[in-house]
Amino acid sequence: MTQQRRWTRTAHRTHAAITVVVLVAVLVLNLTGTIGGGTALRLFLAVEVPLLVVFVVLTLLRLRRVVSTPAGDDRSLLDRVIAEEPLLRPAVSELRYCHSLVLAVAGKRRVSAGAASFGYTKGVMAVPAAIVMVSLVELVVVHLLVPWQWLRIVLLIFSIWGVLFVAGFFAARIVNPHLVSHDDLTLRWGLQTVLATPLSNVVSASRHANHAATQPDVEGNRLILTQFQSTNVVLRFAQPVATDAPVSKKHRPVDVRVTEVQLFVDDPEAFLHAVTPAQDEVSA
């Protein structure tokens, strides 16, 4: 990272923090009655607006650097934005979750041409449904117990955001199924591509139940890919496969390569049938 780039990033982050602090301070002073509405408006126009203008200019300078990334870079625009500003990773993830929710509502899936798709969400959708019900009850309770209208509105916004976030989180798994093409196997976990390998590298595929695992995990050279259900399929590879395991960095070994994957799929028989032909070709 060049010195100028470091300076721009530091200035942008510092300025963003100052802008937020000033805005919150003006709001708090106004809501507590320390300053009147007219004074708050004058402070906003005199201090906050110039801060926002400078923030927009700094943001545009950094975005120009992202857009001008060499054409040989095959990363998406959002991935390049994250590389430029890692602090935006949560915001970018939420944008992608919202996009996944839109795709799920529209009944669309992110499936490559010529590939068969296999879902892995059967039995887990009760979780977002329960969260939605709890949020609805919470909204009623808040409306009855909170006396301040402004706080009701704030809590309403956070409740709606929470519901949409959870729905988008699970929708990302619906619209990003596992893929089996004529030559390749791709295992996904929501927005994340966990591993990709040629089908010829799959030496065995069979039914297998692991009732102990309820979360994704890495155990040595074994990847477990399930949540809330037991696994129902096991795959073994001839050569170790690089894996981006969907577990926290704290519990994920560096440079994970696995020779076995235990996973849950909605239709295990169809999945095994799609994977098996490659094994027949290797045996022949």
Residue 195 confidence (pLDDT) above 90? yes
In a domain, 95, yes or no: no
Q: Which pLDDT tens digit goes with each residue over 220-257?
A: 899 999 888 889 999 999 999 999 888 887 767 778 89
Regarding whether 208 and 159 lie in a shared domain, the answer is no
List the domain range (segments joined by +) for residue 224.
178-283
In a domain, 90, yes or no: no
Q: What is the pTM of this model?
A: 0.74
Which pairs from 165-170 meet CB under 8 Å and 24+ separation? Answer: 165/94, 165/97, 166/127, 166/128, 166/131, 166/132, 167/101, 167/128, 167/132, 168/94, 168/97, 168/98, 168/100, 168/101, 169/97, 169/128, 170/121, 170/124, 170/125, 170/127, 170/128
In a domain, 213, yes or no: yes
Regarding whether 110 and 72 lie in a shared domain, the answer is no
Regarding whether 235 and 224 lie in a shared domain, the answer is yes
Regarding whether 273 and 216 lie in a shared domain, the answer is yes
Regarding whether 279 and 184 lie in a shared domain, the answer is yes
In a domain, 119, yes or no: yes
**For residues 196 and 246, what is the distance between their CA atoms, to the nearest angstrom?**
14
In a domain, 89, yes or no: no
Domain boundary pick from 54, 84, 114: 84
Regarding whether 168 and 247 lie in a shared domain, the answer is no
Regarding whether 188 and 200 lie in a shared domain, the answer is yes
Count Cβ atoms below 10 Å from residue 188 Cβ, excluding itself.
23
Regarding whether 184 and 168 lie in a shared domain, the answer is no
In a domain, 97, yes or no: no
Residue 122 confidence (pLDDT) above 50? yes
Domain boundary pick from 175, 190, 208: 175
Determine which of 118-122, 135-139, 162-166 has the lowest per-residue pLDDT on average: 135-139
> Is there a contact between 116 and 274 (Cβ–Cβ < 8 Å)?
yes
Query: What is the predicted pLDDT for the residue at 159?
Result: 83
In a domain, 92, yes or no: no
